[in-house]
């Protein structure tokens, strides 16, 4: 179903967002990954979450989609950032503050937070920096920030590094298809039609390769959150593809070990994408985790009233 689209000021930037469902239902915030726009969250998955009784919010991260693009900032090479020869133009923590600022701007005191890939890094940072704003945490195909886990397969990293420059809309679509053939789910049908449609829409909304590099610099410079994760208390779910070639499953397992009481669900045949066949299972697991967080929130409000 179509959502309500808007923009708001948060953390010093403009954030474009879309909402689904009834404002009176418990809120659930979706945070997408590197270079991806909010429309990468499938509408059908949003509908499943709304059907579970939640008010769903998805948004464009900074330097993506219709949110602020920080073109005035340099986009250093990831290698220079990794070697600490350059500093990132902003950090994952800054992006977490964007998400928390969006909730504040929408007058949402707290929400169930779901993050995928880089969005999972951001979601963890939101939970660590703004704990009272997070009722539950669901993390998909992501890692702790430690360089000891979640490694990409060397052949995949090398192939992605050799991708041709994108010069126009058709090339952007072909690059997206090529990328998801590399990182996608080997155990599920390749949904080329959806990838082409999403890549075309994303190109039309905002194509900004320099913005992706700025996001990548933030990811490359992120700290290891493992020790901090031990202090989280909200219900936490980790979903990860057992055949993820971009963020190895060791990253998801490390999060589940670090967060007290966290649940881990591994999906054989799933790579670094959101296979259509798994949307019902994703939504069911996220809704179950949110229900635990919602019960805690309601109990806390009742006990404190």
Task: Taking each helix axis as running N to C, give the angle between helix 169-183 and helix 192-205, from 0 to 180 degrees, rounded to the nearest 10.
Answer: 130
DSSP states along the chain: ---EEEEEEETTEEEEEEEES-TTSPEEEEE--TT--GGGS-HHHHHHHHHTT-EEEEEPPTTSTTS---TTS----HHHHHTTSS--SS-HHHHHHHHHHHHHHTT-S-EEEEEETHHHHHHHHHHHH-GGGEEEEEEES---S-TTSSPPPHHHHHHHHTPPPP-SHHHHHHHHHHHHHHHS-TTS---HHHHHHHHHHHHHH---HHHHHHHHHHHHTPPP-HHHHTT--S-EEEEEETT-SSS-HHHHHHHHHHSTT-EEEEETT--SS--GGGHHHHHHHHHHHHHHHHHHHHHHHHHH-
Pairing status of strand 134-140 against strand 263-267: unpaired
Q: Is the pLDDT of residue 83 over 70?
A: no
pLDDT-derived band at 296, boundaries 50, 70, 90: confident
Distance separating alpha carbons of residues 215 and 19, to the nearest angstrom: 24
- The residue count of the chain comes to 305
The whole-number pLDDT of residue 77 equals: 75
> 113 has which bridge partners?
29, 137
pLDDT reading at 298 higher than 80: no
Q: Are 89 and 73 in contact (CB under 8 A)?
A: yes
As a dihedral over the C-alpha atoms of residue 48, residue 49, residue 55, residue 58, rounded to 10 degrees, the angle is -100
In tens, the pLDDT along 254-281 reads 999 999 999 999 999 999 999 999 999 9
| Rounded CA separation 260/202 (Å) | 37
What was the pLDDT predicted at 305? 32
| Domain 4-151+209-304 falls under CATH 3.30.210.10 | no
Instruction: Look at residue 301 in the predicted model and tell me its pLDDT.
Output: 54
pLDDT in tens, 120-139: 999 999 999 999 999 999 99
Residue 269 to residues 153, 181, 242: CA-CA distances in angstroms?
Answer: 15, 13, 6
Q: How many CB atoms lie within 10 A of CB 79?
A: 10
Pick from 85, 30, 105: which is nearest to 282 by CA?
Answer: 30
Beta-ladder partners of 150: none
Q: What pLDDT does residue 302 have?
A: 39
The C-alpha torsion from 34 through 37 and 38 to 40, rounded to 10°, is -80
* Of residues 239, 261, 222, the one with CA closest to residue 81: 222
Torsion-angle region of 145 (φ positive above 0: left; ψ -120 to 50: alpha; else: beta): left
Q: pTM of the entire structure?
A: 0.95
């Amino acid at each position: 179903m179509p959502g309500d689209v808007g923009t708001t000021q948060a953390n010093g930037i403009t954030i474009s967002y879309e909402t689904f469902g009834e404002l009176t239902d418990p809120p659930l915030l979706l945070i997408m990954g590197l270079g991806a726009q909010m429309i990468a969250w499938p509408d059908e998955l949003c509908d499943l979450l709304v059907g579970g009784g939640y008010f769903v919010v998805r948004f464009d991260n900074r330097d993506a989609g219709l949110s602020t693009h920080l073109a005035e900032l340099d986009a250093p090479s990831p290698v220079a950032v990794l070697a600490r020869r350059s500093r990132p133009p902003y950090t994952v923590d800054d992006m977490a503050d964007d998400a928390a600022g969006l909730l504040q701007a929408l007058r949402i005191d707290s929400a169930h937070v779901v993050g995928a890939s880089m969005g999972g890094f951001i979601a963890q940072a939101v939970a660590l920096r703004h704990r009272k704003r997070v009722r539950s945490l669901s993390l998909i195909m992501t890692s702790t920030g430690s360089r000891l886990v979640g490694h990409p397969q060397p052949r995949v990293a090398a192939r992605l590094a050799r991708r041709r420059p994108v010069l126009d809309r058709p090339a952007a679509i072909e690059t997206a298809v090529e990328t998801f053939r590399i990182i996608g789910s080997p155990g599920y049908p390749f949904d080329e039609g959806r990838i082409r449609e999403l890549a075309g829409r994303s190109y039309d909304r905002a194509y900004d390769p320099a913005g992706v590099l700025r996001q990548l610099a933030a990811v490359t410079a992120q700290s290891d959150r493992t020790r901090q994760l031990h202090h989280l208390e909200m219900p936490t779910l980790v979903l990860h593809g057992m055949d993820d070639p971009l963020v190895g499953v060791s990253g998801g397992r490390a999060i589940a070990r670090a967060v007290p009481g966290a649940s881990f669900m591994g999906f054989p045949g799933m790579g670094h994408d959101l296979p259509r066949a798994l949307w019902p299972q994703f939504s069911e697991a996220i809704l179950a985790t949110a229900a635990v967080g919602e019960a805690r929130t309601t109990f806390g409000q009742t006990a404190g009233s």
